[in-house]
Amino acid sequence: MKFISYLFAGLFLISNTSAQTIPSVYSNLSYDEQGKLILTVNDSLKIPAAPPKARYTLSQMIGSPKGTQKGIAFNFKDPGFSGTMYYGFIPFQDSRHPQPVYFKLVSTIDSGKAEIDLTAMRGRYDMTGWETKGYGTLGYRILEKSGRIIYDGRVNFAGKGPFTIEQTLIEGPFVNLLSENGAVISFATSQKEKCSISAGGRTFADDDACLNHEIKIRGLQPGKAYSYTVRYGQRSESYSFKTAPKAGSRNAFTFAYASDSRAGRGGGERDVYGANFYIMKKIMALNSLKKAAFMQFTGDLINGYLRNDQEMDLQYANWKRAVEPFTHYFPVICGMGNHEALMHTFYETRRKRHSIDRFPFETQSAEAVFARNFVNPLNGPVSEDDAVYDPDPDKIDFPSYKENVFYYMYDNTAVIVLNSDYWYAPSLKDSAPAGGNLHGYIMDKQMEWLAETLQKLEAEKYRPCFYYGAYTLFPQWRACGR
């Protein structure tokens, strides 16, 4: 575990927790006269919550790109930030898995600002024909002064000098919720827009303009490959996916399982600010080679154990960027582990701390931030409300299970994803002044849901085999024969 955000100098404050209602499931918490959250350990020990500081955030690393006479200027909004930007064009038409081809020059980040000279990439360096077309896509990689990679971004531009910034697909598209008849395609754009997707001779669109898009593709045939085209701004990108087979067809297929991809040692892409790019790209390449229908990835995607949700968004964005070139084509379904923890932390000493799941639960809990970063089924339990230990039956007291406990089907296989780090309090094994849940413990309402779901699936016409996706359970297999 790397708990780094408390130790860095020059950190910046993102949000304030004052005036937030304290959930009734917690004890010994209050606000002082200045609005600071206080944990009362005993009569003589009252500890303020550590501020929700972040070393970097996703919005910061996107860099607020602006067109200039010669290229693109970035502002990372931190005068103390220095480092290096690598950059290069993304040749979408030349590769099934398009990624930046980095240019021989770099840009220096000084006082939180940098500029990329696109005019130096003309002529023989114009590998994507942007001079002729009048537009292109630039990928960029940000390294801090120490050499650690912080973020891989991309930006669409137009013009030949001066340049302008265009609507950009900054994340995705990802294939999600694969079914016999379609899928949900998710992606994020740099500006709010009502986007559309064409697939199977039909066009599907957002209901309203938004930044985070989840467009449902339906009306397709089981077990068939379909190309799809995402249209946004003046641009489009095309990929493909294969629908799930008709239930009960019982034709052979391959799926993959993995977990634990937080940053590793060794430098380079083994640590892209919280995520192990290196190993995830190797895993995904193998999945593609083996023609995996989907991959279940359960727990410890990132370093996590953070106090700021926007810093967690950055680590999740890095993980998703590693798998993205492959998840244009098939889904990776994710579950939570202990490293997905987002916390209120109270430091008794530098080495002793008390940590609980962050609130308000609707927006700041580990469960809420996970749900906004991934697209998963909505067929799980609601929460631990209405259990015998619910302190107030008239209101919602616990975090939601939405998109962190669920199940899905693929032909004769059911995958049940549990969350054994729900409402996780990392310090609970040593002290419990505020409350929370233990690591590796399944609470009552989730366990009830599991029993009901197993009973329901066993009664299905096409009797499935099962894989239990709980982080702390070893895989349990049953033959999936004809």
Query: Could you read off the pLDDT tens digit of each residue along the chain, which spans 482 residues?
Result: 333 332 222 333 334 444 589 999 999 999 999 999 999 999 899 999 999 999 999 999 999 999 999 999 999 999 999 999 999 999 998 889 999 999 999 999 999 999 999 999 999 999 999 999 999 999 999 999 999 999 999 999 999 999 999 999 999 999 999 999 999 999 999 999 999 999 999 999 999 999 999 999 999 999 999 999 999 999 999 999 999 999 988 899 999 999 999 999 999 999 999 999 999 999 999 999 999 999 999 999 999 999 999 999 999 999 999 999 999 999 999 999 999 999 999 999 888 999 999 999 999 999 999 999 999 999 999 999 999 999 998 899 999 999 999 999 999 899 999 999 999 999 998 888 999 999 999 999 999 999 999 999 988 876 666 555 543 333 333 334 33
How far is the C-alpha of 91 from the C-alpha of 136, rounded, in Å? 9
Q: How far apart are CA 39 and CA 346, in angstroms?
A: 7
Answer yes or no: are the C-beta atoms of 65 and 163 closer than 8 Å. no
Domains delineated in the chain: 12-54 (no CATH), 58-166 (2.60.40), 171-241 (2.60.40.10), 251-468 (no CATH)
Q: Identify the pLDDT of residue 467.
A: 53
- What's the confidence (pLDDT) of residue 1? 35
- CA angle 329–331–335, rounded 5-degree value: 155
Q: Between vectors from CA 410 to CA 408 and to CA 413, what angle results, nearest 5°?
A: 85
SS3 268: helix
DSSP designation for 231? E
Distance CA 413, CA 106 (A): 49
In terms of Cα–Cα distance, which of 35, 36, 46, 50 is closest to 5? 50
Q: What is the DSSP string of 173-203?
A: EEEES--SS-EEEEEEEEEEE--EEEETTEE
Confidence (pLDDT) at 93: 85
What does the alpha-carbon distance between residue 236 and residue 254 come to, in Å, rounded to a whole number?
31
Name which of 65, 25, 32, 62 is nearest 46 in CA terms. Answer: 32
Query: In the sheet that 406-410 helps form, which strands lie side by side, from edge to edge?
Result: 406-410, 413-417, 465-468
pLDDT of residue 479: 38
One-character DSSP codes across 383-432: -STTSTT-S-TTS--S---TTTSEEEEETTEEEEE--TTTTB-TTTTT--
Per-residue confidence (pLDDT) for residue 19, from 0 to 100? 57
How many residues are recorded in the chain?
Answer: 482
Cα–Cα distance list, 416 to 377, 405, 419 (Å): 11, 8, 10
Phi/psi of residue 366, nearest 5 degrees = -55, -35
**CB within 8 Å of 192: residues ≥ 6 apart:** 209, 210, 211
pTM of the model: 0.92
Give the pLDDT score at 431. Answer: 81
Judge contact between 411 and 248, C-beta under 8 A: yes
Contact criterion met (CB below 8 Å) for 342 and 357: yes
